[in-house]
Structure 1
Amino acid sequence: MPNSTADRPVLSFARRSGVLAAGVAALVGITAASTPGTAHAEPTATTVSAADFSDCPPLPSGVDPTRWRCEVHNASPKLTMGKLTVDLAPITMTHAEGPLPDGTDGQVWGAMHTTPTAVSKGLAIQPEYGGRSDFYTGRFSLRFRLLSPLLRHGCTIGADAPVDFRMKRSGPSEWLSQDPPVIRFSAYDDTFTAPAAEHCGPLTASLNRGFGLPAASGNLMTYDAVYTFKTYDQLPER
């Protein structure tokens, strides 16, 4: 057993490079073509009609609670960024919207919940709220955390500048239920820029090459969702 620094075995540069290459290959699945995730069930009227309104945010001062509603929506997103393609786990988002005292449209962010999705052996991806949302126009931002024992904690696509989406409706909304209100819609964005992964440690550069990031074009987010809502006078007092 080595008992001094001089006695300890040192990996050669070639061997260290081989270890890193093997790690990247394991993460991106060798082909670097697409990385299909686990299939997830699309949201239904039943799941959203039993929505949890506990994430409804406090209202702005001076607004009418009867004209403000808290919306909870469940979505099944499918994402392509560079060479990475994955069916993400369902996402639940909560926000409030309604008229401000001056008559303009107002919104308040509530919360977002989801779980990691496996994209290859040893690698998972999890969306996180990116700090910006506008549900009137379909704009919101996300970061995508990459989870693996081979990557540093904090390894994220869009870590410093989140991915900005401008979702467009694929068609008209459909009312699935009037009481409770349940509405289904589909949207997509094929114009966003996919940034590089950051803060991933020694594998950062190779990981980005394997996934084709950053990618200025060829990216796609499709978004099938259902949502329900209650006006604030219908919510239990806190």
Structure 2
Amino acid sequence: MQTHTFLRRAAAGLAVAAALTLTVAGSAGAAPAPGPSYDFSDCPALPAGADAARWKCEVMTATGSLTLGNRTLPEFAPMTVTHAEGPMPDGSRGQVWGALRSAPTAVPGGLSGSPGGDRSPALGLSVQPEYGGRSDFYTVGDDMGLFTVRYRALGPLLPRGCVIGAGETPVEIRLKRVGPSERVSKNPPVIKFAAADDTFAVPAAEGCGPLGRVLNDRLGLPAQTGNAITLAALYTYRTYDQLPPR
């Protein structure tokens, strides 16, 4: 990806994150503006013997831009990722996956791929991210770990099983922090940051029936290069001893 393109997308994403912080600011007294609400109901159960006071449930809400093959989503639907991390009883680092939640995002051009093609209800196309089965969120410097994602392709002419990154070939995203993080709030703890990756490969869509070849041609898949994601994110956490009992 060209540097000026990346910076433009990152700046746009940060503008979205700045708007989302109004929700956090509202918690200090003023009525909150529309934005993410930090719901800890997806916090996973702790491993046996884990110390609740030393384990954190972390919730990240992000939006940004996504390029899969030759199609770019200038702003995808907000995505919320929940996981837990802390020391295992033997002292090693532990992590437990919680959930990934997001609404579908329309693909410009729809299945036809032509300008305005997404205006036809029958040719509409959206993608919705789902957890791909593997993650590691321990940060080292600007490297923010990895998580794998599948993108479910949705449209009136596509079967429900149409997925980009199905089976053993999910999309593997390795995020790097872009610029400094900013603490928005101490209570609750909220941190704003930007991150990106333009090094991942995207496999062809599978399980798409007779239109599978059309879909892959329209998206330019499989694509080993040219894919990219930029995130503008807000992150918060609670230790498990602060969470309500279940």
Range class of TM-score, shorter chain: 0.7 to 0.9
Q: What is the match of residue 106 of structure 2?
A: 118
Cα distance in 1 between the residues matched to 2:56 and 2:215 = 43
Shift of the alpha carbon at 1:98?
0.7
Q: What is the match of residue 177 of structure 1?
A: 185
What amino acid does structure 1 have at the position aligned with 2:101? H
Shift of the alpha carbon at 1:172?
2.2
- TM alignment of 1:126-145, pairs within 5 A: 126-136=128-138, 137-145=144-152
From 85, 109, 132, the equivalent of 1:97 is: 85
Conserved 8 A contact 2:70-2:226: no
Q: What is the match of residue 55 of structure 1?
A: 42
Where 2:77 maps in the other structure, the secondary structure is coil
Q: Is structure 2 residue 13 aligned with structure 1 residue 42? A: no
Cα distance in 2 between the residues matched to 1:151 and 1:134 = 32
Conserved 8 A contact 1:45-1:177: no
Where 2:200 maps in the other structure, the secondary structure is coil
Cα distance in 1 between the residues matched to 2:63 and 2:237 = 19
Cα distance in 1 between the residues matched to 2:200 and 2:210 = 27
From 216, 224, 228, the equivalent of 1:216 is: 224
Q: Is structure 2 residue 124 aligned with structure 1 residue 148? A: no
Q: What is the match of residue 196 of structure 1?
A: 204
Shift of the alpha carbon at 1:138?
2.0
Where 1:209 maps in the other structure, the secondary structure is helix
Shift of the alpha carbon at 1:90?
0.3
Shift of the alpha carbon at 1:47?
4.0
Q: What is the match of residue 167 of structure 1?
A: 175
Q: Could you list the runs of 5+ residues in structure 1 that have no partner in the other structure?
A: 1-38
Cα distance in 2 between the residues matched to 1:207 and 1:236 = 45
Cα distance in 2 between the residues matched to 1:214 and 1:123 = 17
Aligned residues between the structures: 200
Shift of the alpha carbon at 1:140?
0.2
* TM-score between the two structures when normalised by the length of structure 2: 0.77
Shift of the alpha carbon at 1:42?
2.8
Shift of the alpha carbon at 1:63?
1.5
In percent, how many aligned pairs have the same letter?
60
What amino acid does structure 2 have at the position aligned with 1:126? Q
Structure showing greater radius of gyration is: 1
Q: Could you list the runs of 5+ residues in structure 2 that have no partner in the other structure?
A: 1-11, 28-36, 111-117, 119-123, 139-143
Shift of the alpha carbon at 1:124?
1.1
What amino acid does structure 2 have at the position aligned with 1:61? A
